[in-house]
Structure 1
Amino acid sequence: MVIALDVMGGDVPVHSPVEAAVKAATDFNQEILLVGDRDQVVSELAQHSYPQKLIEVFHSSETVGMDESPALSLRQKKDSSIRVAVNLLQEGKVDAVVSAGNTGASMATAKFVLKLISDIERPAIATLMPSTNRNNPFVLLDIGANIDCKPSYLFQFGLMGDAYARTVLNLENPRVALLNNGEEEGKGNQIVQDAFKLLERSTLNFVGNIEGKAMFQDQVDIVVCDGFVGNIALKVAEGTFDFVRSVLKQEVQASWMARLGYLAMRGPFKSLKDRADYSEVGGAPLLGINGVVIICHGNSKPHTIRNAIRHARQCAELNLNDVISREVSENLNLIQEGSENLSE
């Protein structure tokens, strides 16, 4: 199994991805194809000791900046690192792609080159979030791929999230909920209410609406929302974790009694970090396309990208897309009904 890594994307291109690749190759015995400017990549690799049989370089001559238009980059930069990496996946030369580059460009390129799974109308970006149950994180999607959604899109996100939870989290009957401003059935705008009706008639274990404050209480396994709401929910959660960590650090340094207490609580604090730190998850899969593409934060550190490479291998090994296709086929009548209602 070979993972293609876009080394030219992200806030710290080349350096962070190459260090991550070295860690992944060493820690997981993983074959990795580094896609980017050969001279820069080879120069960076020379700074590391690594298993040379596991890491190769594939040259690309162009880079998509973090602030570039995804549509323009797709049309004008056909030899960009993300385009070349996704082309390699489409050609069957690699098994998955990981990128910390421009999210819009990664999504647009994957959708254009790999195409969508049959009967899926829009891809969605999913991520794992911590819950009060140490061993049971939940799936949140969409976290940014689709700002404006139709009821049928949200329904399909539920199907894809269910497939992801069954495959990656090994859950037999995941609980699916709609993120809403109240638990009652009639809450939310018309789009969310219509999505509710589709979800409750599906084969999914749909448990209704859930409020943001309840997401982390181990009440559900998949939380469905549009990309605008999902991205805000994700960033608020990440910011809250950073806030708590900063406050704890300030308080620990405030007195010798606090420092003494920290020594006694160091184990639980480390456990909290391991469970809540978003860098431990790695990347977020782009669900609904014909291939495994993992998207990372632009500011991802090498450790985070290393974990994303592991996540990409896991999704590819478990044939995630086959499970999504099966979920879709079992609910095809509802998908078609939702799409037809929107066209009337």
Structure 2
Amino acid sequence: MGYRVVIAGATGNVGREMLNILAERHFPVDEIVALASRKSMGSEVSFGDKTLKTKDLDTFDFTGWDMALFAVGSEATKKYAPKAAKAGCVVIDNSSLYRYDPDIPLIVPEVNADAIHDYSKKNIIANPNCSTAQMVVALKPLHDRATIKRVVVSTYQSVSGSGKDGMDELWDQTKSIYNPTDDKPAKKFTKQIAFNVIPHIDVFMDSGDTKEEWKMMVETKKIVDPKIKVTATCVRVPVFVGHAESINIEFEEHLDENEARDILREAPGIMVIDKREDGGYVTPVECAGDFATFISRIRQDSTIDNGLNLWCVSDNLRKGAALNAVQIAELLGREVLKKG
């Protein structure tokens, strides 16, 4: 016996990826429905070897459905998620709307699976920010061993993190570089993204941090440990898919790089590729389409006591969004609903 599953926002990058991953992982589905806005109603999306026609999110009745994976942005989520939750359908939300609500669990299954039982307070579970999700997968097993005091992270985030418009802008601007008569000014981003990097993701806050940087700080505390101090610099780079992060970690106790490497090799969701030779590390191109969070360049930081550096890469549309949501759905089914 399987589940009745709703995908809200099925025509977007993340929604389509959710459908792909549900099929790839053979999620126990009895019935599945793809929802989209009225303007996209009737569009076709793939689910394994099936083709689904999207239905109207605005008029859909969630009664009798087990879970809904939302990828529709905060405004639409604010309108429709409570409606689904009230009808008894558990919402797994990919937007930022509910991440900081103390009554709603923020979950990365490899890190804080026990939080799944708190879903019943509002019938909603939040999916973390893409840059946070991959980082905490790497941090948790190391924290369990040596207790993390502070994290300094610089991100190199692909344009797919900003949606289809961001991907289109990179593609169009890259082509226009070779055709000077076809100028493509920045629209989605604040500056040219082709052949450039932009140290600005989301809005600026009073502190001088951007909202993306603030998210990494706050979400890491909620998911892993409120005592961990995090400072982040988030940068958009001209890559289509895959986020990379340079992470510097300060521990309470000494952790040798070889032991850290062994711990990470055994940790769930992680693949260690760390050879000190040309190409002995992973880049976004290699991680695209993969489920794992890849760790490379593990080494001591001799400038501080108990310091370690590492390089972390993951497909942001997968682990950073759709895969994590499906893993939450699997956890929900296995630990709570127990049908499949």
Q: Which has the higher contact order (CA 8 A, sep 6+)?
A: 1
Tell me the TM-score normalized by structure 2. Answer: 0.36
TM-score (norm 1): 0.36
Structure 1 or 2: more strand by fraction: 2
